[in-house]
Amino acid sequence: MSSGNKKLVLLGVSGGIALYKSLEILREFTKKGFDVQVVMTSNAAKFVTPLSFSALSGHSVITDIFSSESGIQHIEIVKKSSLFLCAPATANLAGKLASGIADDALTTIALACTCPKVLVPAMNTNMWLNPIVQKNMEILSKSGYEVLPPVSGSLACGESGPGRMEEPENIISFCLDLLTPAKFFSGKTILITAGRTEEMIDSVRYISNRSSGKMGFAIARQAKAMGARVILIYGRTSLPPPNVDIGISVVSAEEMRNAVLNNFKNADIIIKSAAVSDYRPENVYSGKIKKTDEKINLALIRNPDILKELGRIKNNSQYLTGFAAETGDILNSAKLKLKDKKLDLIIANDISQKSIGFDSDENKITWIDKNNNIKSLPVLSKDRVAQEILKKIAKDLELH
Ligand code: PMT
């Protein structure tokens, strides 16, 4: 996401001596054309005044979630941001984030962020080596933070050892990789299906589901950003489709099947995130069914399973990815689908909560590959989920 035409970086600054380097980080990001919004803890503001940061960023620094600009505005900033970087991150800040504590502007914003998050700790060596701090870092890594560990060197406290904040140059280069992804898929074609199918009952009524197309569109967007030629086949949606090489809009499962089969041979990678109706009415009434006092029985017949068909006909060099929207025993159901449909990878979404999965901005996935490697990701924005799935595919195909 971006602020105006520029991508927005949220720069979190907590109170450690290393924060003089944050000014350099801020300057480098703005030089490279990013918009930067700084968020400081009150301790950080004792080391360097917010004025220095606002002068360099061109925005007033957020230090208080309850300031005159309301908290809601801060949440809006979170939605627009492409990256959250906290440098330096103190042991205290990491402890709060690992425990889900949000008692100031920085921790509140960090907790609300679903964009990529990078934490750059800096502290005294003994603090860094303390098992509690190490445990917190492990929790943060498992919760989706990229942690750039401190380097060894002489510290402000006079000691020497690991604890020094990573150099700004390396921090910037790490962040740029997240902000502008590598073109793993140059020369490759990726076929993606997105959204829902609709199966007509009569001329105005249909059977469908709540898929919005957000997940599939995010994959298409990120695949383009990673250099792929993208063919996107999508069901009815209220969202504008992303800019791809070939975009085909369909309504029913039958139409989706035809469009997929027509384009399948040209695809190196297929990702089927669409929610396809398993059934359709046996007869479609012409006109609108009239209301009577009689009971109506709607006979449903099976729709073709497009993914299963692809699993049967794909050649050895094509990489096939399916999705599984699941509740209950998510892993086992997904494993069965992986095997039954002869997939290379299956993405299981937990759709037990309304805030993730169907028609939401976030998703929580676990992937299983054909070698039974399993990885669960925390709740992330759909763009971020898309990046992670595509990186996994690039790695499996040795495009990394
Ligand atoms: O669009 P959003 O609002 O962002 O929501 C995203 C999503 C939750 C719909 C998406 O992430 C997702 O889980 N998509 C698959 C949903 C689904 O239909 O799962 P399934 O378990 O019924 O199907 C398994 C796989 O077979 C899917 O890849 C599906 O595309 C495919 N399939 C299913 C039935 C069928 N007749 N043909 C198929 O190809």
The distance of Cα 389 from the centroid of its chain, to the nearest Å, equals: 9
H or E stretch including 54? helix 50-57
Residue 91 within any structural domain of the chain: yes
253 lines ligand 1 (CB under 6 A): yes
Question: Can you give the pLDDT at residue 3?
Answer: 55
User: Is the C-beta atom of 211 inside 6 A of ligand 1?
Assistant: yes
pLDDT at position 153: 80
Tally of domains in the chain: 2
Kindly give the number of the ligand 1 atom that is closest to the alpha carbon of 237.
Answer: 1
Which range is least confidently modeled, 186-190, 207-211, 325-329?
325-329
378 and 257, same structural domain?
A: yes
Ligand 1 centroid–CA 351 distance in Å is 11
Of 179, 207, 233, which marks where a domain is finished?
179
Structure tokens at 226: 């990673």
Encode pLDDT of 244-267 as tens digits: 999 999 999 999 999 999 999 999
The beta strand positions in 202-259, using DSSP E, are 206-207, 229-234, 246-249
Is the pLDDT at 220 greater than 90, yes or no? yes
The pLDDT of residue 70 is above 60: no
Regarding whether 202 and 124 lie in a shared domain, the answer is no
CA 214 / ligand 1 centre spacing (Å): 12
CB-ligand 1 contact for 345 (6 Å cutoff):
no
Other Cβ atoms closer than 10 A to 11: 24
Residue 74 lies in a domain: yes
Share of the chain above pLDDT 90, in %: 78
- 184 in a structural domain: no
140 and 32 within one domain = yes
Residue 240's pLDDT is what?
Answer: 86
Give distance in angstroms: CA of 197 to centre of ligand 1.
10
Q: Whose CA is nearest to atom 24 of ligand 1?
A: 324
Comparison of pLDDT for 97 and 383, the residue scoring more: 97
Q: 210 lies in a domain?
A: yes
Residues spanned by the domain of 368: 189-396
Distance in Å from the first CA to the final CA of the chain: 24
User: Could you tell me if the CB of 359 is within 6 A of ligand 1?
Assistant: yes
- pLDDT at residue 68 greater than cutoff 90: no
Any domain includes 1 = no
> Does residue 40 sit in the same domain as residue 115?
yes
Q: Is 338 in the pocket of ligand 1 (CB under 6 A)?
A: no
Helix axes 306-313, 253-264, angle to 10 degrees: 20
Q: What's the CATH number where 341 sits?
A: 3.40.50.10300
Q: Which CATH number belongs to the domain containing residue 49 in this structure?
A: 3.40.50.1950
Residues 172 and 236 both lie in one domain: no
Q: Is 113 a catalytic residue?
A: no
Is the minimum distance from the CB of 349 to ligand 1 under 6 angstroms? yes
Q: Do 254 and 125 sit in the same domain of this protein?
A: no
Catalytic position from the list 113, 115, 157, 175:
157
In a domain? residue 37 = yes
pLDDT average, residue stretch 19-48: 96
237 vs 58: CA distance, rounded Å? 38
Same domain assignment for residues 216 and 163 = no
Phi, psi (deg, nearest 5) at residue 247 = -120, 125
Probe target for ligand 1 pocket from 307, 352, 364, with the most ligand atoms within 8 Å of CB: 307
Asked whether residue 85 is assigned to any structural domain, the reply reads yes
Same domain, 240 and 292: yes
DSSP string over 306-346: HHHHHHHH--TT-EEEEEEEESSSHHHHHHHHHHHTT-SEE
Residue 357 Cβ < 6 Å to ligand 1: yes
CA of 141 to the centre of ligand 1 (A): 29
What residue type is 22 in one-letter code? S
117, 151, 179 — which closes off a domain?
179
Statement: residue 56 has pLDDT above 90: yes
- Ligand 1 atom closest to the Cα of residue 333 is 21
Do 129 and 15 lie in one domain? The reply is: yes
For residue 338, report the distance from its CA to the centre of ligand 1, in Å. 13
How does DSSP classify residue 65?
T
Residue of minimum CA distance from atom 26 in ligand 1: 307
CB 39 near ligand 1, within 6 Å: no
Residues 36 and 159 in one domain: yes
What region does 187 belong to: left with phi over 0, alpha with psi -120 to 50, or beta? left
User: What residue type is assigned to position 263 of the chain?
Assistant: N
pLDDT score of 397 = 98
Question: Is the residue at 277 inside a domain?
Answer: yes
Q: Which of 157, 179, 201 is the last residue of a domain?
A: 179
Residue bearing the CA closest to ligand 1, atom 13: 325
Asked if residue 209 and residue 68 are part of one domain, the reply reads no
* Cβ atoms of 276 and 309 closer than 8 Å: no
Alpha carbon nearest to ligand 1 atom 23, residue = 324
160 or 347, greater pLDDT: 347
Q: Identify whether the C-beta of residue 327 lies closer than 8 Å to the C-beta of residue 352.
A: yes
Whole-model pTM over 0.85: no
pLDDT of residue 71: 55
Is the same domain home to 145 and 225?
no
Residue from 207, 258, 273, 335 whose mutation best tests the ligand 1 pocket (most atoms within 8 A of CB): 273
